[in-house]
Structure 1
């Protein structure tokens, strides 16, 4: 290695962060606002007496290293940009690039499993409890909540929908606030503990006003969890590995429906214990469990590689930090850096984000409409209260398995669109079958129950695939944090719609609910196909300009500042 090349490494300017393992860190890992990003990699002339290389020397140094065959297989060098695994990286030293590409495959797999074991199950359990806590009100309904609190027809729909008002409004601000925390586990733990307390208090409400208050507060504290959890995953996984991991803990949303039915069937047997109705015990016990999990979050939820020295060795930490640096294209920022107005503007002016958000809205409307109403639908098939609760389990289990299956395929082929479009097709077919039964569910239990299962198999794979599609097509961590929260925020407006789609007076035909769900499935499918065509066209348009022309027109910093608009950025299909 050219000895002068080691000088081309800006020093860390943030004293409170841990030193890099082995006494080193990748070039330009963290810069304070106003510092020159990756200064020695710029295409500008530098003075030799400054101890920095000029661009020609950098290019020669990199190509000297790249003569090694294994290194050539993974790293492509163009001017002063290194391309690793199809990701263009600015500011990565040859030594760090060589370490990353030569990191043994068996160690990579072992490291991925270690991260999976530490992160995914915890997030899955937390996401399960979040959906359990927001949707168990549907189970409480058939155990007598509406009658005991004296709710009228429209009041029930208002109670369901009011949760989503703060939930939608606070998702983006919550993720922006999360970026100020060096330990996401603290922030997420506070949210979970607070909504657990609110859930417990739901078990003691006496009227419509009290129930409304607890639902609003539940929406406030639950708003930040899912976008925060997805954002946390982006610090540990490469884009090609993201969809499966999100699906594993997102399928907990489906399993929450199954658990909700099982738990409600069991807990409702406590009716009269302590002088309390059975539906109150559903909220009381599930709320206490949530508080316990929130406290556990402070100790068990992992934050970042640099804070994981107890279970990662120095080389594993270095590899994971380099992985994040490479994924960021070299434009590495401290994860605590505040999101700027330019990051917000980049998301709001990205018209493709609205298409992705609409797909999530379609999924959300169908999902929440089904989740809130499924116990009532199974009861309309002729099952008693307890059996109606239990019959909600198979559809949700099928939905969870479907989410894992489609997400595995999505990551295997690194192609998102088909695994959004196919589930949307299943949703469309399922609601077509249900509508064709004209409300005669008791007389057609087989087809009706098959359609319900098919509905869940279509609904639950959509969210992880669309969320990964969003994350893969946003370049910087700040825009990714805002973009994910924005899309999930807009998508959750579907929860408000889903709360009003199923009108009690239409039971069991539910023409409005089933009809709107069919429309959402079909329109979501159309939008997914149009979005795919736009990404294909965008990539072809960018490919028309040669690398040499791009290099003449823009500096490296300008290209990185463009984010996903950069002519060197390739959209994930």
Structure 2
């Protein structure tokens, strides 16, 4: 049926001849071995690259919080309010730019060049932050930093979802997210070395060196990513035609639909579909509340400084909690992929943060308060799986999935913006009010997550009761059949196996 085959071409330049490649039978030793080789290739090239980029993403974004410890506010003559505005203004460009960025990413021929170019751009902006002379210059740098940074995290999750199946995605997303957690550790260690040894070198303040060095490293990483990142499954240069066909087919099998846009699935249509889905907005509000509740991460060096140690020691103390959280993040997601469960693997870690706040609010002991900081860092273990969950449960087509991820992360980061005003220096050193606000937000996030879980349970029961494909989905089932090289009846049978992960 050539008309069906044409209708499922990828507008990013699909090689139509891929559909003529015959794959080994599903479940056969040859097919399993081929899938293992493909996944291993992705795990050794795609994953390390996005992991490294994410480390630098947050090191560059949060460099301003460590620079604060070595005179940034005094040198630029910033008030507490101005410093909070400088922190939050990044999100004025970062949040709204994520939705169009993901829509662009879904349509460009070479996502590797798009993401890599954005990495280079924010590295350059980060480095230029070191030459700012006042409040207005810092505002400009932060706004321009938010624009290219907006492309990365939702874009990386979307890129992973174009290569990994539902049961593979959470673990890989967690490895990516652990880059954020470890960036807090590595960033603190890097800052300890730079702030402790570079002050006055060549007549330049240490906090300026911090931006110069971190920005230069990011530019190098961005240039490397131009080569290392994949593009779409149909046109990635560093895998062969058989692997490209296999990459397309296994995602179609996983979703029981062709994981490609039809002629009608334009970016605007995808945006309208995502914006009209209440589930997308439930995830967006949950993420907003979650990120507000976990906003202490941007102020972690300030929190460890309240323990009463010197600046270098405070920065060193900030590293261990995030190292442990990074390991727990990967272990938690691995278990979530094994079980297919999402709700408890996300929310239980928020409950650990609530316990941490209670401990910190009720004691003056340095040991107990430092232990509570370990529990605080664990909150991000669950957050690592939020966008993976969105990708799991937001239906095809990819245009809708790309827009949904952009909406959830873009709207959700309003919580980080609001968090810039929650951890006020005047509420230190105990920050009781800040912790109380964050605690309430995490309770709200847990309730919203529970509501999403119950909704997905009901949808799965509906699928159990109605296994017949509707006429609206007939074309997608046909597209999956063409992509996999099987009959329409076989594709329809596989569709019956699809269920939402909750």
Q: Aligned partners of 2:263 and 2:224: how far apart in 1?
A: 23
Query: Does the CA-based 8 Å contact 2:25-2:31 persist in structure 1?
Result: no
Structure with the largest fraction of helix: 2
CA separation of 1:10/1:249 partners in 2, compared to 1, >3 Å: closer, same or farther?
closer
1:463–1:336: structure 2 CA closer, same or farther, 3 Å change rule? farther
**Alignment correspondent of 2:492:** none
**How do residues 35-50 of structure 1 correspond to structure 2 at under 5 angstroms?**
none
Offset, 1:568: 8.9
Instruction: Provide the residue aligned with 1:200 in structure 2.
Output: 127
1:307 equivalenced with 2:205 (yes/no)? no
Deviations 1:509-554, CA, capped at 9 Å, x for gaps: 212211111111211112111211111122223433353xx66x76
Q: Is 1:272 paired with 2:200?
A: yes
SS at match of 1:179: helix
Which of 458, 479, 485 is matched with 2:400 structurally? 479
CA distance in 2, matches of 1:384, 1:244: 37
TM norm structure 2: 0.89
Asked if structure 1 preserves the Cα contact closer than 8 Å seen for 2:343 and 2:453, the reply is yes
Match of 1:59 in 2: none
Cα 1:109/1:434, change in 2 over 3 Å: same
Residue matched to 1:415: 341
> How many residues are matched?
483
**1:25 counterpart = 2:19:** yes
Matched position secondary structure for 1:163: helix
Find the aligned partners of 1:511 and 1:494 in 2 and give their Cα distance: 19
d(CA) in 2 for partners of 1:515, 1:504: 15
Among 134, 137, 145, the residue aligned to 1:218: 145
1:324–1:559: structure 2 CA closer, same or farther, 3 Å change rule?
closer
- Cα offsets for 1:461-497 (capped at 9, x unmatched): 2223211111011222111100011101111011111
Does the 8 A contact of 1:363 with 1:462 survive in 2?
Answer: no
Residue 70 (structure 1) aligns with? none
Higher relative contact order structure (alpha carbons within 8 Å, sequence separation ≥ 6): 2
Distance 1:482 1:271, change over 3 A: same
Secondary structure of the 1:104 match is helix
Displacement, 1:302? 1.7
Confirm whether residue 137 of structure 1 aligns to residue 64 of structure 2: yes
Give 5+ residue unaligned stretches, structure 2: 480-494
User: How has the CA–CA distance of structure 1 residues 540 and 224 changed in structure 2, closer, same or farther, with 3 Å as cutoff?
Assistant: same
CA distance in 1, matches of 2:465, 2:442: 35
Aligned to 2:474: 556
1:428–1:284 Cα change, 3 Å: same
Find the counterpart in structure 2 of residue 79 from structure 1: none
1:109 pairs, out of 36, 61, 74, with 36
Cα distance change, pair 257–560 in 1 and its aligned pair in 2 (3 A): farther
User: 1:452 is matched with which residue?
Assistant: 373
Q: What CA distance in whole angstroms lies between the structure 2 residues aligned with 1:546 and 1:205?
A: 61
1:422-445 Cα offsets, whole Å, 9 max, x none, are 1111121111111223xx3xxx11
User: What are the residue-to-residue correspondences of 1:125-524 with 2, within 5 Å?
Assistant: 125-268=52-195, 269-308=197-236, 310=238, 312-327=239-254, 329-333=256-260, 339-367=266-294, 369-437=295-363, 440=364, 444-457=365-378, 459-476=379-396, 477-524=398-445
Give TM-score, length-normalised by structure 1: 0.79
Aligned to 1:571: 500
Q: Deviations over 1:351-381 (max 9, x none)?
A: 22222222322332233x3223221221111
Counterpart secondary structure, 1:142: helix
Query: How far is the alpha carbon of 1:18 from its aligned partner?
Result: 6.0
